[in-house]
Amino acid sequence: MARLVALALMLAAQPAIARSWTEEKCDIYGQAWGEAVRTRGTADLSPAFLAAHDAFLASSCRERAVCPRSAAEVAMADLMTIMAVNARIAGTFLPFICRP
């Protein structure tokens, strides 16, 4: 039992594993998305757009395949771009891309 307690104390004393900048950007971006959805809503966004965006967030912001097609989706993508750049997240991080 004493060994388990000692091991637990050693592990607790270890510094937290540093998060990568990509993980931090994803968290920041996810918070910005949440704020945009709270303020603007999703009524004019297609299920495909929302599903692709959910997949982007679920992939830890690695699956970039969100294609804005309607005016409302382009407006949301524009807003997210502005919010991301204001948070010092490069435009290349964003999920918005339309492939043929």
Residue-wise pLDDT for 70-83, tens only, equals 999 999 999 999 99
Residue-wise pLDDT for 88-100, tens only, equals 998 889 999 998 8
pLDDT of residue 91: 85
Q: Is residue 3 part of a domain?
A: no
The count of structural domains within the chain is 1
The pLDDT mean for the chain works out to 87
Q: Which two tokens stand for residue 78?
A: 């524009």
Q: Is residue 81 part of a domain?
A: yes
Query: Whole domain around residue 36: which residue ranges?
Result: 20-93
Q: What is d(CA 22, CA 86) in angstroms, rounded to the nearest whole number? A: 16
Q: Is residue 42 part of a domain?
A: yes
Q: Looking at the predicted structure, is the pLDDT value of residue 8 above 50?
A: no
Q: Is residue 67 part of a domain?
A: yes
pLDDT of residue 1: 52
Q: Looking at the predicted structure, is the pLDDT value of residue 3 above 80?
A: no
Element (H, E) at 61: none
CB of 60 within 8 A of CB of 22?
yes
